[in-house]
Structure 1
Amino acid sequence: MKLNSITNRYIFKEMFVPFSINIFVFAFLFLMTEMVEIANWIVNYNLSIWAVLTIIFYTMPAFLIFIIPMSVMLAILLTFLRLSGDNEIVALKSCGMSIYGLLTPVLLFTLLGFLLTIFMTLYAVPRSKASLEEMALKVATSNMDIGLKERTFNDTFKGVMLYINKIDVKNRKLIDVFIEDKRQPDIVSTVVAPEGRLIGEPEKFIYHLLLSNGTIHQTNPKERSANSIQFNTYKLSLDFKKQVGKAAKREKDRDEMSVAELRQYIENYSKSDPEDYHKARILL
């Protein structure tokens, strides 16, 4: 009995070393796919190291639900390969210990890995996704140019469609800017400019697009009128307050909900929409 107890503790401890190494290696490999984007945030957008580390921390649970099972499997395999290579299994059998007696620490280690994966899946992943959304909102309000993408229509602001052909990150210039502004009643303004700059007031959640040497085309469909205005400098103000308020009050997505929240969501909201109901049931 004493031999079994000592052996079980020994094997259990032996599995922790390869398990820890596997977790580190797999996590590093997963993060390597995001390294270019992370380096871009730090170098070009002056995002603080603390903000980047916080974002990485919030993304880790989504990786760990895959990494933990793989690490447990490899830890068990590597541990028993080493024991077999060092003839320790033969020595234990010669002491009268059954080979099936070695399953106890393996089953316990597997159970711990299973419980940890369940915790990550049911609790950590939904919480981290919700926290990541909040973090992304804070980053966007202080570094809006992170959200701007080349050759992509951006409709973040209500009534304004923004398209930028090229972003000169080094000089913080926007090249070939196209804007469709529908904020004025009955008037659609189309602004085209060869270049511009984005200047922000993060504390007020307001950003200003300073455009140079462009043209404004205004049309009024009701009056069937149109006119064009050329400008040397034009400032377009974009208010981020409404977007911040909406994001703060938004309902959680299904993959951000805990099990209890998902059950309540299914009972209260999904019955009227069969497709949404089945998607929520699959997540649950």
Structure 2
Amino acid sequence: MHRQIFKEHVSIFCLAMFSLVFLIVIGKVLQLRELFLGLDIGILEMLKLFGFLIPAVLLMIIPIATMLSVFLTFLRMSSDRELVALKASGVSLYQLLPAPVVFGTLCTLLTLWVSMFGISWGMSNFRSSVLELAQTRAKVVLQPGVFNKSIPNLMIYSRSSSLATGELEHVLVQDTSRDTGGVTIVAPTGKLISDTAQGEIRFVLHDGKIYRQNGNKISVLGFNQYVVRLALSQLVKGVHLGKLRPSGMSYSQLQAIKKDPSIVESESFIHKTDVEIPKRWAMPFACLVLGLFAMPLACAFEGMRQQMGVVMALGNFLVYYSLLSIGMKSGESGSGFSPDITLWIPNVLFGCLAIAGLYFTAKERTVNVTAMITHVLFNRRKGKGDGTCRS
């Protein structure tokens, strides 16, 4: 019996995961369309990038899929009167707990791995891949002997360039990105360098001169090394590739900032880090909590169609995530409420509801919500019908 229940959990979980990931991928395609069009990315490279983004969304998808799996399994069992038959044969609801508890624990461990390691791995590889593609595009744009204007606010000319190493010779750069006016830079040699951590491409020029025009005067400044920084947000639209955010960091990186906040400049960055650390623990344990909560909830909605059951389960998860979002916003604003407490409130609340629901369901003291709603609708239709006949 436990094996069959566990298999049904797994089958529904896989279907829910595939459906939710597919919907999110469709949304990401629309969100990142400028990236794909701008870098001329092929199908295989596109799938590779989406593969790196999936761990970031699994932190939210796995708890939803876990809740749906348990809810739809027990909804079907209650609607098919299997639970009634099991109770008649002496099997209580508590004896059905091992399968969903084991399933929820496995989902919790999977989400915990994604939370601690998967997110940072995916975001690091995504940034590196996009940066590599952008650097390749920048190298392709820098055709030797041509005044290249494809990069915003920069006009670049080099007599010769190497696509493999990024080496440039006899370079002329006109930079109009500064508010004070444009400057013209001339250097005998240069190099194109990418920086994954900062999310930028650098044109490093050596032993050249900077020409700046102020009215009718031209000032000349020599240099040993001059760096022209190009943020990838200028070259790649539709995706953030600046400094790494807390949501994309590994747990060890978050802990390092927690121990030494002086390594970051912004106060808001510290608050976001303080929120992200308990979130990385709260979301995995939501799998177990929501899975147990789904058992008595499914029994309360006995007779409901599977389609409506999906809507009902998603509605309950929306309540959970709304409470979580309130805790996150409170922590990020630095309002005085500790994120270590506010982010665990949804788990504690739904955990208490799960325990109470299991107790009352096992005692057969719960209300059949589906039957109650059907009864109310039937009486309303009957009342309308009687009124029509009397008129």
Within a 5 Å distance, the mapping from 1:157-236 to structure 2 comes to: 161=153, 181=175, 188=182, 220-221=213-214, 224-225=215-216
Question: What does residue 264 of structure 1 align with?
Answer: 256
Give ranges in structure 2 of 5+ residues lacking alignment: 140-149, 156-172, 185-191, 195-200, 204-210, 219-225, 232-241, 278-391
Cα drift, residue 134 of structure 1: 0.4
The 1:35/1:134 distance shift into structure 2, 3 A limit, reads same
Partner of 2:65: 71
Residue 272 of structure 2 aligns with an amino acid whose one-letter code is: K
Does residue 101 in structure 1 map to residue 95 in structure 2? yes
How many Å apart are 1:241 and its aligned residue? 9.3
The aligned residue for residue 147 of structure 2 is none
1 or 2 for the larger relative contact order (CA 8 Å, sep ≥6)?
Answer: 2
Equivalent residue number for residue 270 of structure 2: 277
The within-5 A match list for 1:234-253 is: 253=245
Q: 1:45 to 1:263 in 2, by over 3 A?
A: closer
**SS of corresponding position for 1:33:** helix
Match among 42, 52, 55 for residue 49 of structure 2: 55
**Residues 240 and 71 of structure 1: is their aligned pair in 2 closer, same or farther, counting only changes over 3 Å?**
farther
TM superposition score normalised by structure 2? 0.45
**What percent of counterpart residues are identical?**
25
Q: Secondary structure at the match of 2:44?
A: helix
SS of residue paired to 1:270: helix
**How far did residue 261 of structure 1 move?**
2.4
Q: Distance in 2 between matches of 1:273 and 1:47?
A: 35
TM-score, normalising length: structure 1: 0.60
Asked if the contact 2:120–2:248 (Cα under 8 Å) also holds between the matched residues in 1, the reply is yes
**In 2, Cα distance between the equivalents of 1:136 and 1:272?**
25
Q: 1:109 to 1:73 in 2, by over 3 A?
A: same
Structure 1 or 2: larger strand share?
A: 1
Q: 1:14 to 1:137 in 2, by over 3 A?
A: same
Q: 2:79 aligns with which of 74, 77, 85?
A: 85
8 Å Cα contact 1:270/1:277 also seen in 2? no
Matched, 1:17 2:8: no
Change over 3 Å in CA distance of 1:277–1:41 after alignment to 2: closer
Structure-2 residue corresponding to 1:132? 126
Distance in 2 between the 1:260 and 1:128 partners? 15
Distance in 1 between residues matched to 2:51 and 2:105, nearest whole Å: 25
Deviates more, 1:64-73 or 1:135-144: 135-144
For residue 68 of structure 1, report the CA deviation from its aligned partner. Answer: 0.8
**Higher helix fraction (1 or 2):** 2
> How far did 1:61 drift?
1.1
SS of residue matched to 2:262 = coil
- RMSD (Å), alpha carbons: 4.2
Give SS of 1:97's match.
Answer: coil
Give the direction of change, closer, same or farther, for the CA distance of 1:181–1:260 in structure 2 (3 Å limit). closer
Residue ranges of structure 1 left out of the alignment (5+ in a row): 1-6, 146-155, 164-178, 191-201, 208-217, 228-238, 245-249
